[in-house]
Amino acid sequence: MQLPQALSFSILLISLLTLLGCSGHNKKKTTAPVVDSFPVCYGYGCHTVQHVTLSDEQWLTLGTLFSPPANNAATEREQIALAIAQMERFVGDKTNTKDDLPGTFEALFQDLSHQMDCVDEATNTTVYLKLFRERQWITFHQEKARINRGFFFNGWPHTAGMIEELATEHRFAVDSWFHKNGVAPEIIPTKLWYSGWHPEPKNSSN
């Protein structure tokens, strides 16, 4: 039985928009992170998964970003943002993703093999959060499964990492997709993030 032409076009359009957004499922599953080696994915939709090892000096640098230890959850979120940015810089050199562009569409017509969409970013962010917590650098929060939003109702399909504040059970999106590699991610309440929130464009003269 053939579908009506209008319905067929609608299905094709929805499929295309889903691909152009970044709410797709991972093409490859990443393994649980361990201290000495952890998975990093890139290439849009986790097309490539590479295991990365940091040096003792690099781990020490990351640790200093949590020193002194935060005495409240808000301060810890600031530390988390700085540590994820530094982790991206370390990982970028090892995976050739150091020139990853912000968002999805800026790199759409370039070689995507070492670029990241929001699926890559959210997956990696979740791994980094777990590594930080395993090293007891994070004590006020717990990483959670990534969150998804969108499909016309509140913007393009999109996904991000997430943390939960243990004392209050308040949840926050941890979204590094908005910025180029090595820039601190946005950490905002999930309710705001679900609304389709985007950061204000930064003044290029700053």
The domain containing residue 20 runs over which residues?
A: 5-194
Check whether 32 has a pLDDT greater than 60: no
* 145 located within any domain: yes
Structure tokens at 98: 């150091």
* 129 located within any domain: yes
At 111 the pLDDT is 64
pTM metric for this prediction: 0.81
* 200 located within any domain: no
* 10 located within any domain: yes
Check whether 107 has a pLDDT greater than 70: no
State the pLDDT confidence band at 100, using cuts at 50, 70 and 90.
confident
State the pLDDT confidence band at 151, using cuts at 50, 70 and 90.
low
* 202 located within any domain: no
Q: How many domains does the chain have?
A: 1
* 81 located within any domain: yes
Check whether 177 has a pLDDT greater than 60: yes
Q: What is the mean pLDDT of the chain?
A: 82
Distance CA 164, CA 142 (A): 5
What's the average model confidence in pLDDT over 82-96?
97
* 199 located within any domain: no
Check whether 187 has a pLDDT greater than 90: yes
* 68 located within any domain: yes
Q: Is the CB of residue 26 less than 8 Å from the CB of residue 46?
A: yes
Structure tokens at 151: 């499909």
Structure tokens at 66: 């949590």
